[in-house]
Chains A and B, each alone.
Chain A
């Protein structure tokens, strides 16, 4: 990962701009927070990236899949009229629902539209309509008030030398990394993973060699929906559950994906961590309310100097 590089710049910058004692500690803490934030972005962004890779659709409604996952788990966990389950089974059911929702949207909306030959730009605008629709349906049911899950809400941070992290956040980071490794393993070692990669790199060839495109795309959507729901639960746990949390995360997902190289799943993972770290570390020098602005600015800068992204190939652009 890019830790040493980020640390080095943090150190040199720190010398140039005297921030008082404890700057190194604060930088380390911001780095840890950044990795954690990046892990959540990465979990949600991988699905978005795979959907783009296989169908070339920019799914603007991906943020809503995140929100719905978080809100679903909230309903099962503490919602009025919900079963009041523990968060862990609630989260698992929310992920299943997220996967089913992803599959449903693909089967019921995108596949018929693709078969009708609807253009990509029109499909993109339809995802925007879908995003508006879903987001405000959630708003009607969930309301504007931010909420939290019942378990793991307030925790004592573990003291790890200069940095502190709550057990909850530590587990989220570890789980996220395990899930990302799982996705990578699936892409590299399983038949369906190979099919996804084949479809992403050369659709015509993939189709000619007998890959069932519709089935692969359906799997990608279900995977994307499930991962988004998981990311939503994590995001709700570390921060708070709101009706527009996914939409706020969406642009950071896009930033991660473009940073890594549009359409490359591994690029999306790496890019998301960079975005998370940039966002958190910016608060060492700049106001906290500008965190996301700096992360998005990183996106624009990357477009300026290396539009194909960190791991992207040059030919993909233009």
Chain B
């Protein structure tokens, strides 16, 4: 087993563009769940409309990329309004089920033969982000340290992605420490109390849903741009479950929770994946127990187990305080 390969894989994944995308989507979810207490299980739907906003605008309609970005952002606002309208007045469990259902409805519509002329159906859309890579200032080469190397293309994508993540983090930090943030954190604790003090809980929940949804759609756009392709089946409910795992790992309701959570999540996931593959290749694990194609499944199972163990033994995550968690009245 080559530990340097395993470790460098883990580091590359932890700082790579995908970790940045998930961090950004988790920042949006943190605003929903961590600060406002909204049990949004359809965050992947916002990523989907963002990604397709860009992809379909450019590929199908031949619009410039920046117009696609605007359309993606607009779609996410529209989705948040449509989703919030019937569900934000309902109990938490209804919101959870309604949002996950909405995500699935969207995925099914985007992949259907009906939508194929616009979305490419099950085949998805490709090669719509050339403009993004054309403006890259980074000369062609590979960059990095030790065995952790990125192509200039990936470096450009990950730099932009992490820059957006940092901006979003700053935005959230400002917001949650403002009086606005005080209101949404109070809604998380007890919305009736907030109502009794003359605040329109519904309006604040909607603002939170829209803002977090917009961040989710930006994550979806970045994912689409990095891959130069979109496919409806990559926007499975499991993505949202990963985001919750990231959030709980880092600490829900903590400004840096999503960043820490995402880096660690992807580093750990890749570490296990890479270690398993190395162990199988080196003959430490018999292919009869776990064969190489099954590693992917094992990895998902580990995420599930990890989420359970975290929720049971350290629900406050890495950055949260145990004291605060014990006061959680919900």
Contact = CB atoms under 8 A, between A and B. Distances in A.
A119 B37 CA distance: 13
Given A124-B96, A132-B300, A303-B98, A317 B105 contact: no
B304 interface: yes
B196 to A, nearest CB: 15
Given A122-B315, A136-B304, A287 B298 contact: no
A128 interface: yes
Contacts of A119: 328, 330
Interface stretch (A3-11, A186-194, A291-299): A291-299
Contacts of A255: 101
Contacts of A140: 290, 294, 297-298, 301
A171 interface: no
Contacts of B305: 129, 133
Q: Majority SS of interface residues in chain A? A: helix
A307 B94 contact: yes
B33 to A, nearest CB: 9
A296 B308 contact: no
B112 to A, nearest CB: 5
- How many chain A residues sit at the interface, stated as a range, is 35 or more
A229 interface: no
B101 A129 contact: no
B232 to A, nearest CB: 11
B311 interface: yes
Given A58-B97, A122-B315, A124-B96, A132 B238 contact: yes
A52 B86 CA distance: 22
Contacts of A135: 300-301, 304
A235 to B, nearest CB: 18
Given A289-B113, A299-B101, A262 B311 contact: no
Interface string B96-136: 11101110110011011110000000000000000000000
Contact of B304 (A118, A124, A130, A254): A130
A254 B312 contact: no
A221 B198 CA distance: 43
A108 interface: no
Interface residues of B, number: 47
Contacts of B101: 251, 254-255, 296, 299-300
B300 A136 contact: yes
Contacts of B89: 307, 318
A10 B105 CA distance: 23
Interface in A83-135: 113, 118-122, 124-126, 128-135
B301 A300 contact: no
Contacts of B297: 136, 139-140
Contacts of A58: 93, 96-97
B108 A290 contact: yes
Interface string B265-309: 000000000000000000000000010001001101101111111
Nearest to A61: B304
Instruction: Tell me which of B109, B303, B307 has the highest count of chain A C-beta atoms within 10 A of its own C-beta.
Output: B307
17 contacts: A58-B93, A58-B97, A124-B96, A126-B311, A129-B308, A131-B304, A133-B308, A134-B304, A140-B294, A289-B113, A290-B114, A293-B104, A293-B112, A296-B101, A296-B102, A317-B90, A318-B90
Given A137-B301, A290-B108, A307-B86, 15 more contacts: A120-B330, A122-B311, A128-B241, A129-B306, A129-B309, A132-B307, A133-B301, A133-B305, A136-B297, A139-B301, A254-B101, A255-B101, A262-B94, A289-B112, A307-B90
Interface of A: 58, 113, 118-122, 124-126, 128-137, 139-140, 251, 254-255, 258, 262, 286-287, 289-290, 292-293, 296-297, 299-300, 303-304, 307, 317-318
